[in-house]
Structure 1
Amino acid sequence: MGVTDGRNSRSPLQPTKTAELLLDFVNTRPVDGRPERLADAGTMAEWLVECGLAPEGTLTTEADAANARELRAALVVVMLAHAGGADGTDPSLDEAERLLRRAGTLHPLAPVVTAAGSSLVSSQTGVAGALGALLAAAADLARQDGWARLKACRNPPCHLGFYDRTRNSSATYCGPGCGSQVSMRAYRSRLKAT
């Protein structure tokens, strides 16, 4: 199972299909009244089918859902670091990167080289192949220099994943509403301090 992209005509300010897939994955969390899409084996199976990562009827277990939530949490921490929320000394970032290395070991990828280019694909099928395809998407984005544009909103109750479309890659919030909330909290905190 692999993820392919049309790379020829896209602006770096527009998310690729692989970026959209990863954002869809990290945004399966229950944010802004949305339901948890990886709550259990059934909801995860539905999400995998909707995203085209697995065919209808793919066996999905509760352990698969737990592994997917762990992978998602690690990706959110890394995406927060992309938004300036964590640095290289942050223990949660170290733990997230350790979990991602472990996921890479559990879901190995194989290079596929053709005349048109190269890509990484999962050598597994089922849920393991789907999780491998998500890792392949991250590797593909990193290879295209788009990985750092995948960010998580720095507004603590939100942490919604978004693609930074700014020219200088300086966005830190998913939208103006979250930026305003953070500014208002900081303002109220300053008022209380005086």
Structure 2
Amino acid sequence: MAWSASTRYEVDPAPLGLALVHDLLNTIPAGRPRAADLLDDLADAQAWVDQALGCWAQEAAQAAAQVPLTENDLEELRGLRAELRRLLSSRNGDGLDGDDHDVAPAVHVAAAALRMDRNGRVVLEPRGQGWRYVAALVLLEVFQAQRSDTWRRLKICRNTRCATAFFDRSRNNSGVWHSTKICGNPENLRAHRARQRVRTAGL
């Protein structure tokens, strides 16, 4: 099984359960030609949720939950995505891509329960139906990533015309482009040319 949203932008998924959060971030329309918003209509959103929960279950060695969505769930999922993207973009002072400006803020509360598994470990499990279940699972993975210090490696490409989410695997966590070839080199070339024009104008 492949993470459908991130795969279409040719980015490797974040490790373990954080890949679910990564894939949600990449349900946005981006790339050239522009890919579809996977949360735009119910059929696409349901297909993404089914695929993403199946991938997550594989990573966690658990049975995949069946989470039917309704039309009312779509705005909440888009709102959750927008809030997560806003949080990541604020790290380097970037703004949101235009599509996310029109989305209402997501509710930052989701339900989870503590349960002891067969091995005696206490585990957190998401609760709720529809978007609430997905939000609970996503926030649990953000919580786990913050505890393991991998959350800071999940980033938004600095190229505002791209805005693809990527997991920075560089040793010093210095990456700013989802792809140096696709976004980094063209942006650096544009910046170089702009500096040259300023120098020429000053002569």
TM-score normalised according to structure 1 size: 0.74
Q: Which deviates further from its counterpart, 18-27 or 119-128?
A: 119-128
Taking only the aligned residue pairs, the percentage that are identical comes to: 27
Aligned counterpart, 1:159: 163
Q: For structure 2, which runs of at least 5 residues remain unmatched after alignment?
A: 1-12, 55-63, 96-100
Aligned counterpart, 1:48: 49
| Residues 118 and 76 (structure 1), Cα distance of their counterparts in 2 relative to 1, 3 Å cut | farther
Equivalence map 1:99-178=2 (5 Å): 99=105, 102-103=107-108, 105=109, 107-112=110-115, 117-176=121-180, 177-178=182-183
Aligned counterpart, 1:190: 195
| Partner Cα distance (1:116, 1:181) in 2 | 53
Name the Cα RMSD after superposition.
2.9
| Residues 166 and 113 (structure 1), Cα distance of their counterparts in 2 relative to 1, 3 Å cut | farther
Equivalence map 1:25-104=2 (5 Å): 25-32=24-31, 33-52=34-53, 58-82=67-91, 84-86=92-94, 99=105, 102-103=107-108
Query: How many pairs were matched up?
Result: 168
RCO comparison, higher one (Cα < 8 Å, 6+):
1
Q: For structure 1, which runs of at least 5 residues remain unmatched after alignment?
A: 1-13, 88-94
Aligned counterpart, 2:59: none
| Residues 183 and 59 (structure 1), Cα distance of their counterparts in 2 relative to 1, 3 Å cut | same
Cα distance, 1:51 vs structure 2: 1.1
The structure with more radius of gyration: 2
Q: Which deviates further from its counterpart, 67-76 or 124-133?
A: 124-133
Helix, strand or coil for the counterpart of 1:151?
strand
| Residues 111 and 171 (structure 1), Cα distance of their counterparts in 2 relative to 1, 3 Å cut | farther
